[in-house]
Amino acid sequence: MARVLDRYRAWERLTLDHPANGTVRRRFEATAYTLCVLMARRTSREAAHAAEHYLGVTRRRGRAIAPPEPDRPEPVPPGRPLRPVAPRDAVPVG
């Protein structure tokens, strides 16, 4: 995600610097489309904002990824819910 956002920003700058260059514009649009698909947003501006929020990017002094919060538990990956597993030598009750 961070790599796509970085590419989007780089192509955005190049597009602004060279607005008549068709190759630069096509690359920018392709990267913008990829970012929109990844973030499930309709516009590249919304997608970039959502990606920055997702990555914890701050805008006060440049761009820096915020450090992880130590008190926050790790997210559970998607898929089957986790269930406790009984030890192999456990005696069934009942």
**In the structure encoding, which two tokens stand for residue 77, read together?**
């990956």
Domain-embedded: residue 25: yes
pLDDT single digits (tens) 7-37 = 999 999 999 999 999 999 999 999 999 999 9
Query: Per-residue pLDDT for 68 more than 70?
Result: no
Domain-embedded: residue 57: yes
Domain-embedded: residue 94: no
Domain-embedded: residue 17: yes
pTM: 0.58
Domain-embedded: residue 54: yes
Domain-embedded: residue 21: yes
3-state secondary structure (DSSP) of residue 58? strand
Q: Is the model more confident about 12 or about 90?
A: 12
- The number of folded domains in the chain is 1
What residue numbers bound the domain in which 13 lies?
2-65
Query: Per-residue pLDDT for 78 more than 80?
Result: no
45 CB neighbour count, 10 Å cutoff? 13
